[in-house]
Structure 1
Amino acid sequence: MASRSKGSELNPSKVMIQTVTWKCSNNLFLGIWYKKFPEIIVWVANRENPITDSHGILTISSDGHIVILNGTKSVIWSSNSSRTAQYSVAQLLDSGNLVLRESSNSSTESYIWQSFDFPSDTLLADMKMGWNLKTGLNRFLTSWKSASDPSPGDFIYGIDVIGLPQFVLRKGSEKKYRTGIWNGLRFSGAGVKSTPVSTPTFVSNTDELYYMYKSNGGSMITRFVVNQSGLLQRFVLSEGSSEWTIMSITQTDQCDDYGHCGANGICKINKGPICECLQGFIPKVQKEWDMFDWSSGCTRTPLNCQKGEGFVKLKNVKLPDLLEFWLNENISLKECKAECLKNCSCTAYAKSDIRGRGSGCLIWFGDLVDIREFTYGDGEQDIFIRMPASELDHNQKGKRLVLIIIISTISGILVLSFLTWCMIWKKRTKRGQETDKEDIELPFFDMVTIAAATKNLSCTNMIGEGGFGPVYKVA
């Protein structure tokens, strides 16, 4: 449970900044939170070095930095910017950004330092997450240690820039989740979609590489959080509401767990069991797979560059992690295939950019880790898995067998349909002939004969009357 200490506070219309402490703790932190929701703390300054006495001072030092001093006037935390100004001021913006700027200039270019460059566990609208490639600044989220301790926790969520960019969640050095690599339109395992609440942006150029979302205005606001358990959650607040609700959780199922099916395995959430070995591979430890423990992954006899090797296309997947790889963004998919065949260690290849007709080449060496299948069309991409000639022959035989079965089935249906039609036609023809024969055997009388036989239709010869008229006896 957080409480606020007495003292001065920066207080714009939507957010506040003040020292924060927790029950059962004497530690003091400088935090920013929503004015209407003081329990929602979106940024903490001195996470790694709390004030342990009962006094804290926020001020601007003589050299132009924002500093936090403890009761003995020792510096607990500092903005520590490489830039300085002769006259600087600190300002808390309505966006939640605490900025240090020149007193005579309020433009963003005049910012000497800003809290948005040093996120805590929360990503707010207009906050960049990613890299300034010119300065080397990396903006990432770090979870709290616990719900009541804002010290840096176990989980870090940020953008890896090795090869092609992708978001990665780590617990220490261990990967727990990743979005898949950026393929020019989206991350291969997660879309970048607009919602009624926000519009996302991904920028990648020579100067910057970052993700950001902008608020769509209106009556709702949103925030993105990595919590102390490592869940990536987006919260939304509607106008007039007093409660934040969870709009989405990034990790939706077991297949989002990093490497859930081990090396050379593929996760299929709609299958049971959900893990399978890639074609041509077998479980490394069958007993473990029988117990639904897939962590040991799959293996196969190493490829030896024999003649006849080729590839099997695997569709609608999140591409494997970039562990051992080669990237060339300037060659075609056909050239990429040729490059893969030249190297005995190459295990797979794919387009690096799927925009338009596609371009670029991404080649994997060694194990293929963290592949999952998708059943929808937003995050998928295709990859070509290298196969020995024997596996391709087996695959071709299987395809031929399937083709034979399909052709045989269709042929059988057509023959059966033809025979049925012949039988029906024959029956109808026979009925017609019988009807014609019966009609020919009936006698026909002309009117003169009928008149003579009934005395000119005399009433004395009429013996009755039915639905078709009077009936006469023949004299």
Structure 2
Amino acid sequence: MGGIPVHLHYRTTTFSRTLFFFLTSFLFLSFSPTKTSSVDTITASQSLAADQILVSSNDVFKLGFFSLDNISWYLGIWYKNIPETTYVWVANRDTPLKNINSSSSAVALRIGDRGNHLVIVRDGGGSNSAAAPVLWSSNWTTAANPTSPVAQLLDSGNLVIREAGNKQSIFWQSFDFPTDTLLPDAKLGWDLKSGLNKYLTSWKSITDPSTGDYTFKLNYRGFPECFLESREEVTYRSGPWNGIRFSGVPEMKSTQRIDFTFMFNNHEVYYAYHVNNTRSLISRLTLNSTGSLQRMTWIEDTQTWSLFWYAPKDQCDSYRECGPYGICDTNSSPVCNCTLGFTPKNPQAWGLREGSEGCVPQTALDCTTDGFLTMKGMKLPDSTSAYVDKTMTLKECHVACKSNCSCTAFSSANISNGAAGCVMWTDSLLVDMRHYVDGGQDMYVRLAASDLANYEELAFADDSEEKSPSLALVAGVSAVSGILLLVLAACFIWKRKRIRSMLGGQAQKKGTQERTQDMLINEAVVSSNKRDHSCESSNNDELDLPLFHLNSIAQATNNFSDENKIGQGGFGCVYKGMLEEGLEIAVKRLSKNSGQGMEEFKNEVRFIVRLQHVNLVRLLGCCIEMDEKILIYEFMEHGSLDFILFDKLRSSILNWPRRFDIICGVARGLLYLHQDSRFRIIHRDLKASNVLLDGEMCPKISDFGMARMFSRDQVDASTRRVVGTYGYMSPEYAMDGLFSVKSDVFSFGVLLLEIISGKKNRGFYSTNNELNLLSHAWNLWKEGNGMELLDPSVGVSYSSQEVLRCIHVGLLCVQEHAEDRPVMSNVVLMLGSETTSMPHPRNPGFCLGRNNDTYSSSSMHDESCTVNQVTVTLLHGR
């Protein structure tokens, strides 16, 4: 018959089935999560199931499905060899999958039908089924229809779709659609041909990867620069790229390990960075859920992410902080100053350190006679509307700007090789300028000729057209200077005699020593025309703190009536007041019987007038008349934190998100004091009553009467006069008088645990006879019952993972030995990132228990008050 014998047909069929079984088993094992090191690609006929992962060829990144709560599932990319999972990309961040771990809800990732995008489908058992419902689909950037597309996860962290056998033919890539992380070699910016904008968007929270409130985008209009926005409102600006760095990021320097790139042409505008050796350095740029832009580097020795750089970091990073023609400078006090030749638009608000209205010209401009003032070390102003010409020289730029009556300023577009290119601001206000001591670049601002006569930094003063006027200016300035010197000398002699006369007359009424101190405050601390010669003012900085009259303060507080009293402590009373112009203020009136005397008062003025941060209370001015010593602050609508936190009725308004924001805000304020302020400041009295809350519950650290300043290379110090509050003092400080930044870290840890629990550390009692709140938290943590510490009044809307992370951070901060405690930069990092690994905490410091006789102080009657003076006696064996 010509047919195949029956026994031969049976053997052939059996062999085919056996071969098919082995082949399918091999393919399944290849995609099994237990053996993924060589699987980085899927083809158009394959899919990636929910329990499978792709791993890049050199084991750098993984791709797969993940969940943070076992309810919502996402497709994402994370590092393979970082112990704490660190996600760098999330595909379906706003369309999470639900309950995909059940067999009836199985899903799979595969290449879309057109071969130029990805889809997540309901996997009904056939991954190639065209009828499988699509649950999510990626965007695509090309209309090409490849013949043999494959999806591959690269060692760069980029997921690409390309033609099989051709690595250059990329039809789609995850780098074109970043989430909150910019990886090395990824581009942030615009593809002008396709109109694609690649930018970062924060997570909603550390446990919710959906689109958050913050974006970091590159604006290519004018002179391109990056903007950080909160709900489309600009909060921070990088400054334009000047050939070396962004104008507003002086720390940004290419090194042997990292190179920065900025491309600006007719096809694309983007910023990128390249790590030269990815095996020795892992770096990522992240926009976190609190609106902080952070560059993180992985430290192999400690197995933690380290915060290398972040923004915004201080008051001057806030967009338009000083308004039009205002210059922000953290090295001056106040931080806002007008451009030379300009004056505050609203002098009254400016005197109260509110500079957002900016400055206006002192003299009207005249196009024919105007000149240009050289301003050095500047962050260039907002350049969205600026004109750029890369071919001009700086001198040609000067001529062009001078001949254009609408041109308000100009600068070099590229400073990488001298000064090249031209950027001009025309018909626009100069906003968001900043001065740097080290960094920035030269810019030239148009001024009236009469105003230029007062300044020497003239732009291009050697030009022939300006030689003659400059000689006249020199002669004029010399004459004026001589007259001014004579006037100043006369004023100095008169002032000196007046002070001596006042001191002599007042010494008869009151002790000479106290009155001399009052005069020192008036003359050395408050007056804008005098210098502070204390050690804290070694740089001869002018304080320029507004001085209020006692009558105006008395009127604002209804003559310090009890109805206006909003607080009281060891220093005296605090009153609410209203100035004539309608500004609400808080008035801190030092009691004559207070243990906090002139030294603390001077300390408060010296420090807080120089400190500018959103999480530090603002000092508006002071008043020193007769026997009164008064400080005037911005008014905090919700008062001090302890007023709400430890009250059973009020504490319910502090839900968990608010408590977490307060924790993070205090941490950022303390980080500024320790690391980012002009001086390194040790607060020494951080506690709940010294954290104030404004109308939006934003926390602000207050009371710097006990603060001390460290030099940058100083580690610690000692004192025989221990100040602070029982329950918040670190063991080494309370027992031996040793204090450092780690002393403040201990106080912060106590405060953090109090915010979580709603209970005070001092005066804490429990049924288990714990010594204090710290021991209670420690025991709960060791037993795995950390959530029992949470205050029930926070309600039910909270992330248990976030709460436990905060408790973990708090216990790290209150460890007994100072060297074990983290610094505040690591604290901020640990609070803001769930992927940061943290060491296990050790025993907390339990010094200062219930025995109220451990130290003696006149203020022991109030457990929340400040210990004004405790003498430490060192005992030695005979």
TM-score strictly above 0.5: yes
Give 1:326 shift.
3.0
Matched residues in 2 for 1:355 and 1:7: separation?
Answer: 51
Give 1:372 shift.
0.6
Describe the SS at the equivalent of 1:362: strand
1:67 corresponds to which letter in structure 2?
V
CA distance 1:86–1:75, shift in 2 (3 Å): farther
Matched residues in 1 for 2:373 and 2:112: separation?
Answer: 64
Matched residues in 2 for 1:6 and 1:234: separation?
Answer: 32
Give 1:323 shift.
4.4
Give 1:318 shift.
0.9
For the 8 Å contact 2:219–2:384, the answer to whether it is kept is no
1:14 corresponds in structure 2 to 60
CA distance 1:290–1:337, shift in 2 (3 Å): same
Describe the SS at the equivalent of 1:167: strand
Give 1:352 shift.
2.4
Give 1:286 shift.
1.8
Q: Which residue of the other structure, out of 447, 462, 465, is the alignment partner of 1:387?
A: 447
1:345 corresponds to which letter in structure 2?
S
For the 8 Å contact 2:241–2:262, the answer to whether it is kept is no
CA distance 1:302–1:322, shift in 2 (3 Å): farther
2:92 corresponds to which letter in structure 1?
N
2:75 corresponds in structure 1 to 30
138-147 or 176-185: which moved more? 176-185
Q: Which residue of the other structure, out of 278, 281, 293, is the alignment partner of 2:354?
A: 293
For the 8 Å contact 1:130–1:138, the answer to whether it is kept is yes
For the 8 Å contact 2:401–2:410, the answer to whether it is kept is yes
For the 8 Å contact 2:244–2:253, the answer to whether it is kept is no
RMSD of aligned Cα (Å): 2.8
Matched residues in 1 for 2:388 and 2:324: separation?
Answer: 21
For the 8 Å contact 1:313–1:382, the answer to whether it is kept is yes
1:276 corresponds to which letter in structure 2?
N
2:221 corresponds in structure 1 to 162
Describe the SS at the equivalent of 1:126: coil
For the 8 Å contact 1:67–1:79, the answer to whether it is kept is no
Describe the SS at the equivalent of 2:254: coil
Matching of residue 370 in structure 1 with residue 435 in structure 2: no
CA distance 1:318–1:388, shift in 2 (3 Å): same
Q: Which has the larger radius of gyration?
A: 1
Matching of residue 172 in structure 1 with residue 231 in structure 2: yes
Q: Which residue of the other structure, out of 119, 123, 133, is the alignment partner of 1:67?
A: 119
Deviations 1:124-171 (A, max 9, x none): 122222233333322211111111111111221132211222222122
Q: Which residue of the other structure, out of 314, 326, 337, is the alignment partner of 1:253?
A: 314
2:208 corresponds in structure 1 to 149
Q: Which residue of the other structure, out of 46, 58, 65, is the alignment partner of 2:109?
A: 58
1:400 corresponds in structure 2 to 478
1:435 corresponds in structure 2 to none
2:114 corresponds to which letter in structure 1?
D
2:446 corresponds to which letter in structure 1?
R
Matched residues in 2 for 1:332 and 1:194: separation?
Answer: 25
2:261 corresponds to which letter in structure 1?
T
1:242 corresponds in structure 2 to 303
TM-score w.r.t. structure 1 length? Answer: 0.76
1:35 corresponds to which letter in structure 2?
K
Describe the SS at the equivalent of 1:331: strand
Greater length-normalized contact order (CA 8 Å, ≥ 6 residues apart):
1
1:201 corresponds to which letter in structure 2?
T
195-204 or 145-154: which moved more? 195-204
Matching of residue 339 in structure 1 with residue 400 in structure 2: yes
CA distance 1:229–1:301, shift in 2 (3 Å): same
Give 1:304 shift.
4.6
CA distance 1:319–1:406, shift in 2 (3 Å): same
Give 1:119 shift.
0.9
2:267 corresponds in structure 1 to 207
For the 8 Å contact 1:281–1:300, the answer to whether it is kept is yes
For the 8 Å contact 2:78–2:86, the answer to whether it is kept is yes
314-323 or 391-400: which moved more? 391-400
1:22 corresponds to which letter in structure 2?
L
For the 8 Å contact 2:66–2:76, the answer to whether it is kept is yes
CA distance 1:188–1:77, shift in 2 (3 Å): same
Give 1:357 shift.
4.5
Deviations 1:42-95 (A, max 9, x none): 100012322245333212233323201257823322343422212212121222
More helix by share: 2
For the 8 Å contact 1:219–1:238, the answer to whether it is kept is no
Give 1:204 shift.
3.3
1:419-434 equivalent positions in 2, closer than 5 A: none
2:639 corresponds in structure 1 to none
1:47 corresponds in structure 2 to 93
2:113 corresponds to which letter in structure 1?
S
Matched residues in 2 for 1:326 and 1:87: separation?
Answer: 47
Give 1:116 shift.
1.4
For the 8 Å contact 2:50–2:108, the answer to whether it is kept is no
Matching of residue 98 in structure 1 with residue 159 in structure 2: yes
More strand by share: 1
Matched residues in 2 for 1:247 and 1:35: separation?
Answer: 22
Matched residues in 2 for 1:356 and 1:220: separation?
Answer: 29
CA distance 1:298–1:103, shift in 2 (3 Å): same
For the 8 Å contact 2:224–2:383, the answer to whether it is kept is no
Matching of residue 361 in structure 1 with residue 422 in structure 2: yes
Q: Which residue of the other structure, out of 288, 308, 312, is the alignment partner of 1:227?
A: 288
Give 1:401 shift.
5.1
For the 8 Å contact 2:61–2:155, the answer to whether it is kept is yes
For the 8 Å contact 2:453–2:477, the answer to whether it is kept is no
CA distance 1:336–1:213, shift in 2 (3 Å): closer
2:258 corresponds in structure 1 to 198
2:375 corresponds in structure 1 to 314
Give 1:351 shift.
2.5
Give 1:239 shift.
3.1
Give 1:246 shift.
1.3
For the 8 Å contact 1:303–1:344, the answer to whether it is kept is no
30-39 or 143-152: which moved more? 30-39
Unaligned ranges ≥5, structure 2: 1-48, 124-131, 456-472, 487-878
Give 1:388 shift.
1.7
For the 8 Å contact 1:30–1:44, the answer to whether it is kept is yes
Give 1:202 shift.
2.6
Give 1:242 shift.
2.5
The alignment-based identity, stated in percent, is 40
2:176 corresponds in structure 1 to 117
Give 1:333 shift.
3.3
Matched residues in 2 for 1:63 and 1:328: separation?
Answer: 43
1:89 corresponds in structure 2 to 150
2:323 corresponds in structure 1 to 262
Matching of residue 305 in structure 1 with residue 383 in structure 2: no
For the 8 Å contact 1:197–1:222, the answer to whether it is kept is no
For the 8 Å contact 2:122–2:135, the answer to whether it is kept is yes
Describe the SS at the equivalent of 1:360: strand
Aligned length: 399
For the 8 Å contact 1:47–1:150, the answer to whether it is kept is yes
2:149 corresponds to which letter in structure 1?
S
Matched residues in 2 for 1:272 and 1:331: separation?
Answer: 38
For the 8 Å contact 2:149–2:161, the answer to whether it is kept is yes
Give 1:390 shift.
2.6
CA distance 1:186–1:248, shift in 2 (3 Å): closer
Give 1:309 shift.
2.2
Give 1:101 shift.
1.6
CA distance 1:355–1:249, shift in 2 (3 Å): closer
2:751 corresponds in structure 1 to none
Describe the SS at the equivalent of 1:179: strand
Matched residues in 2 for 1:194 and 1:341: separation?
Answer: 35
